[in-house]
Amino acid sequence: MTPVWLFLAQRLTALILAPLVIAHLAMILIVADGGLTAAEILDRTRGSVGWGLFYGTFVLAAAIHGPIGLRNVIQEHTPWRGRSLDAAMLVLGGLLVTLGGRAVVAVVGQP
């Protein structure tokens, strides 16, 4: 976890996330009219390989980008640093991949 690799991972995932976030925001604004129903989400996503790839990529990139950023925040504003913090951030990344992957399966998988 040398600085330049963390930096590269953070910036690369940022580049991947940017278009995904723009698309996500656009969809939110479009769908926000009136209430949001499960059908509005699931009719679009169920059985869709495309949406599976979209959200799967989103989850993976966010699971890398978030913990690296949070690590900086914790190191700079609390005394916590070193291997235990690195381990905790790996755990957070694993948690995000697991919960996120589960969520992707939940909305894309056929019931």
Partner 1 sequence: MGEPGGARETLTVEVWRGGEAGRFETYDVPQGANQTVLDVVTWIQRHAEPALAYRFACRVGVCGSCAMTVNGRPRWTCRTHVSRVARGRRLRIEPLRNLPRIKDLAVDMTPFFEKWQRAQGRFTPTRTRAEPMAVVRPESAPRRAADAGIECINCGVCHAACDVVGWDPDYLGPASLNRAWTLVNDVRDGDRHGVLKAASAGGGCHSCHTHGSCVEHCPVGINPTAGIAGLKRQSLLDLVGGGLP
Partner 2 sequence: MNRPARNHPGFWAFVAHRVSGVALVLFLPLHFLALGLALESDAALEGFLAATEHPAFVIGEWGLVTFLTIHLAAGTRVMLLELLPWRDTRKGLIAFGAVLAVVVGAVFLVRAG
Give the DSSP H or E segment for 47. Answer: none
Q: Tell me, rounded to whole angstroms, the distance of Cα 36 from its chain centroid.
A: 21
Kindly identify the residues of this chain, within the stretch 21-50, that bind partner 2 according to CB under 8 A.
21-22, 24-25, 28-29, 32-33, 35-39, 41-42
What sign has the CA pseudo-torsion 6, 97, 92, 67? positive
In 3D space, the residue among 87, 30, 96 whose CA is nearest the CA of residue 60 turns out to be 96
**Is residue 37 involved in binding partner 1 (CB under 8 A)?**
no
**Is residue 103 involved in binding partner 2 (CB under 8 A)?**
yes
**Is residue 82 involved in binding partner 1 (CB under 8 A)?**
no
Nearer CB in complex with partner 2: 1/106: 106
Site string for partner 2, 51-90 (x = CB under 8 A): --------x--x---xx-xx--x-----------------
CA angle at 89 for the pair 84 and 90, rounded to the nearest 5°: 95
Which chain residues interact with partner 1 by CB under 8 A?
A: 2-8, 72, 75-77
